[in-house]
Chains A and B, each alone.
Chain A
């Protein structure tokens, strides 16, 4: 089973600031089948990035994913008020699909 470890646990930001969230995989996700999701209370979760670097449909370009193998990241440039929530990485290379423990952006 692939274990994903996210850091930091919490990020405190003001609108307009930028932030990078990290996701480490063990063993490596060699296919780079890694996604990032945003969870907000009372809403369905939203897919932000898939295949490590591809932005999902209608996701603003201030969200960008990078990385490969064991180390992945999600950068949010110029944070806007609606960008707050909990962000999870997920690998979908193997079964079971596993998630990181989440990073709260507040």
Chain B
């Protein structure tokens, strides 16, 4: 089954920035909506942000608003998450997921995730 593939994770210092990418299979790009979700060690799943297939609609969770920005690069077929002012609380596995609509549809495809560690 074709999957979403995340990249860009790693170790970053507190206060730093990191950009994650989610590579989207070409056939999946059109008319799909993409999300970022994270799971901190020992904690639950947290939805972070969503963007429409054309990049014109986007929203993010209050917990990361103003620090994290979701975007689409149609030329590269990626969905990116720019993360700034990172703290230890942002240490987590970050995954992208796809749904058919902005709301009212589940995540029908997921990536395996990329690990972000915020540490000095």
Nearest CB of A to B3, in Å = 5
Q: Do the beta carbons of B106 and A102 come within 8 Å of each other?
A: no
Is A72's beta carbon under 8 Å from chain B?
A: no
Contact check: which of B104, B107, B109, B112 meets A93 at CB < 8 Å? B104
Given contact pairs A33-B104, A44-B111, A56-B108, A92 touches B99 in the complex (Cβ within 8 A): yes
Q: Do the beta carbons of A92 and B104 come within 8 Å of each other?
A: yes
Q: Do the beta carbons of B106 and A44 come within 8 Å of each other?
A: no
Give the A-B pair count, Cβ closer than 8 A. 59
Binding site for A on B (CB under 8 A): 3-4, 35, 44-47, 59, 61-62, 95, 97, 99, 103-112
19 A-B pairs, CB-CB below 8 angstroms?
Answer: A31-B104, A33-B106, A44-B109, A44-B112, A45-B95, A45-B107, A47-B107, A57-B108, A88-B45, A90-B107, A92-B99, A93-B103, A97-B35, A97-B47, A98-B47, A99-B46, A100-B44, A101-B44, A102-B45
